Amino acid sequence: MNDDESHVPMTGEEKIAWVYGAVVLLTSGAYFVWLATQFAAHPADEIAWEVPLLITLGASIVLTIVGTILGAIGGAVWQGIWGRFEEPDFTTDERDRAIKELGNRRMFAAMTAGVVGTLVLAMLNVDTLWIGNWVFLACSIGALAEVVSKIRAYRRGV
Amino acid sequence: MGGPKPTRVSNRIRELRTERELTQADIAAKLGVTRQTIIAIEQGRYSPSLEMAFQIARVLEAPLDDVFQYREAADS
């Protein structure tokens, strides 16, 4: 009985946070690297960014769903290999909700900065390439701020 | 990521549940929370709501202030 903490798997909510963070880093990172190569090769007004951005958004959604499922299966297999299998726990409790609220506050702060920046860009009447990509950058930073604060809270405390 | 976040709320959950031969999983199941939440409370990384604190005390069959203690600022 006193061996309770010999092995403590992550909660379902924490696993989802890790998957989401990895997916945002991967997809947004890939998109901005691609965009940088386009800036190096073409004038800004010739860059067709809309479709790649939509593909990035779609890929983020699909990869988060697939990653969450694979993470659950992989975790169970890993635990099975080490003989520590536990029933997956998808309970969401008050601590998860407190951590979610914390993450939302961090994301909101980043998004607010993004909205202010968007207003400034619109007032300056800049090309939609800058506005669209600024908004996407703000969303990506907001998502990462959310994930980092949630994982930190799961590890260090709320 | 550094040490646990400090809190002035301490508790005797581990001691009391050991006396009653309850595991963290037992308490988590009775309260409908994750075992990780019970661990976080025991380690002082999460201060539960008043409602959950009462529920924990009830499961441990102990008065609330036997389970949870609050240190004043001067004590810390």
- Mind listing the pLDDT tens digit for each residue in A37-90? 999 999 998 999 999 999 999 999 999 999 999 988 887 787 778 776 666 667
Q: What is the pLDDT of residue A88?
A: 65
- DSSP annotation string for A28-46: HHHHHHHHHHHHHHS-GGG
Burial of A140 (0-12, 13-18, 19+ CB in 10 A): buried
Test the B interface: residue of A90, A95, A151 with most B CBs within 10 Å: A95
pTM attached to this predicted model: 0.83
Residues of A with Cβ-Cβ distance to B40 under 8 angstroms: 95, 157-158
In this complex, the residue of A2, A11, A156 whose CB is nearest that of residue B5 is A156
Among candidate residues B8, B64, B18, B15, the one with its CA nearest the CA of residue A157: B8
Q: Which A residues 81-100 touch B at CB under 8 Å?
A: 89, 91, 93-96, 98
Cα–Cα distance for residue pair B54/B67, rounded to 1 Å? 9
- Mind listing the pLDDT tens digit for each residue in A100-109? 999 999 999 9
Q: What is the pLDDT of residue B75?
A: 53
The alpha-carbon gap from A73 to the nearest alpha carbon of chain B, in Å, equals 19
Confidence of residue A6 (pLDDT cuts 50, 70, 90): low
Buried b (16+ CB within 10 A) or exposed e, B23-43: bbebbbeebebbbbbbbbbbe
Hey, what are A56's tokens? 């990035």
Q: Is the complex ipTM higher than 0.95? A: no
Looking only at the bridges linking them, the beta strands covering B9-11 and B68-70 are antiparallel
Q: What is the pLDDT of residue A3?
A: 47
Cα–Cα distance for residue pair A5/B39, rounded to 1 Å? 8
Q: What is the pLDDT of residue B40?
A: 93
